[in-house]
Amino acid sequence: MNSKNNIVINSRFLTQPITGVQRYAIEISRELLKSDLNIVFVAPKNIIHKDLAKEFNVSVIGNGFFKGHFWEQIVLFIYVLRKQSVLLSFCNTAPIFYKKQFVTIHDLSYLKYPKWFSKSFRIVYGFLIPKIIKNSICIFTVSEVSKSEIISDFNVISEKIKVTHNAIGKSFFKDNTSINKNKEKYILTVSSHHPRKNFKNLIKAFKKIKNTNIKLYVVGNVVSHFSKNDQILNEELNNRIVLLKGVSDDDLLNYYENAELFVYPSLYEGFGIPIIEAMSLKTQCAISDIPVFRELFKDNASYFNPESISSIVDSIDYQLENPKSEKELIDIKSKILMKYNWKNSSNIILEVLKEELNKNV
């Protein structure tokens, strides 16, 4: 088959820990594999997700000398240039000079909140992103808010950007009810550790809520970062705050299902996958009052000002004292699963890809 009709998927995401960005890449890849397109996955040598590489039948290109951005800008660029294939990249970065490509830009946090990132990160992304956006045929992003930011910050026409929402993994569709192994009441938050996740304010607020018998479970790669010199500054963790890492998918479902409340205090997001995970398991949510959450979740959650400790406290107290009914939670679950699923998003990408491939026929 003519390599010009191939879709090459930049699988550098298999060398990275799985956060929301990598989850998007994995699940969209799985959906695209169900199509009739001729898809080729390529990655550098330093793959850490071996099972996924086998599932996607990944071809390793390069001798291992180049990794990360250098692999993307040199090895991957030369590979697709020689084959003249269509390139699809899911995780914000891609070869800057290749024009026969499609890229997902999840958000512009590096630009909106530069203080959250190292100087080197800001320089790299500040150099890459404008060129990638300019040279790509089409940009995918995960919300209308992110689309609006890309349009305004990079002077891109609306038609060049397609919204492809995040969704939840297949493990969340298991037809069973888990048992609370911990036999205790708790509030849950789930996320990677990053200043935007706002753990500092959440912990301050948690210490002021009315219910002093409930615990706070923090799931994510955050444990090593909770120190007196880091995110929570000089605040002491007490025995009501449980830090969890290395949580399996089954245990994560258990934590979601049995939580009294899910709290997500982010200051900025492109989407917010943990919120739809919680809603899909009929867990009520208290979340930040930021534009993207209003867009995506409307009246299906309780909102608070993430920069106000008292607002977070009031929202948590109200939700704990006024829990939603089972019927309300089932209704929210149905609406969320109907709107946000990987098939819907992959169909948008497929339509755009097929339109491009037809130009070569």
Q: What is the pLDDT of residues 87-122, one digit of tens each?
A: 999 999 999 999 999 999 999 999 999 998 999 999
Angle at CA of residue 134, ends 128 and 136, nearest 5°:
95
Lowest mean pLDDT of 7-16, 170-179, 196-205, 224-233, name the range.
Answer: 224-233
Residue 196 CB contacts under 8 Å (≥ 6 apart), including other chains = 109, 113, 116, 266, 267, 268, 269
Tens digit of each residue's pLDDT (9 = 90 or more) over 121-136: 999 999 999 999 999 9
In which element (H, E) is residue 121 found?
helix 119-135
pLDDT at 100: 95
Instruction: Tell me what the mean pLDDT of segment 21-44 comes to.
Output: 95
CB 304 within 8 A of CB 314: yes
Check residue 221 and give its pLDDT: 64
Give the pLDDT band (50/70/90) at residue 180.
low
In this prediction, residue 181 has a pLDDT band, given cuts at 50, 70 and 90, of low
Q: Strand 215-219: give its sheet, edge to edge.
A: 241-244, 215-219, 186-190, 261-264, 285-288, 302-304
Residues contacting 337, CB < 8 A, separation 6+:
168, 280
pLDDT, mean over the chain: 90
User: Is the distance from CB of 294 to CB of 269 less than 8 angstroms?
Assistant: no
Q: How far apart are CA 162 and CA 349, in angstroms?
A: 8
| Cα–Cα distance measured from residue 134 to residue 156, given in angstroms and rounded to the nearest whole number | 8
Q: In the predicted model, is pLDDT for residue 226 greater than 80? A: no
Can you spell out the DSSP letters for 320-334?
A: HHSPPPHHHHHHHHH
- What pLDDT shows up at residue 295? 97
Residues 277-296, mean pLDDT to the nearest whole number: 97
C-alpha triplet 209, 211, 216: angle, nearest 5°? 75
Q: Which two tokens stand for residue 16?
A: 């990275």
Q: Where are the beta strands (DSSP E) in the chain?
A: 6-10, 38-43, 59-60, 86-89, 101-104, 138-141, 161-163, 186-190, 215-219, 241-244, 261-264, 285-288, 302-304
CB atoms within 10 A of CB 227: 11
Q: 139 has which bridge partners?
A: 103, 161
Contacts of 40 (CB under 8 A, 6+ apart): 6, 7, 8, 9, 59, 85
Q: How confident is the model at residue 2 (pLDDT cuts 50, 70, 90)?
A: low
Residue 60 clears pLDDT 80, i.e. is over it = yes
pLDDT at site 171? 78
Task: Walk me through the domains of the chain, giving residue ranges and CATH numbers.
Answer: 3-167+341-358 (3.40.50.2000), 170-339 (3.40.50.2000)
Q: What is the pLDDT of residue 176?
A: 53
CA dihedral 47, 48, 51, 54 (to 10 degrees): 0
User: Is the pLDDT score of 3 beyond 70?
Assistant: no
How would you classify residue 20: left for phi > 0, otherwise alpha for psi between -120 and 50, otherwise beta? alpha
Mean per-residue pLDDT, 65-77: 95
CA-nearest of 182, 256, 168 to 219 is 256
pTM: predicted TM-score of the whole model, two decimal places? 0.90
Dist CA 294 CA 300 (whole Å): 9
Quick one: average pLDDT of 273-291?
A: 96
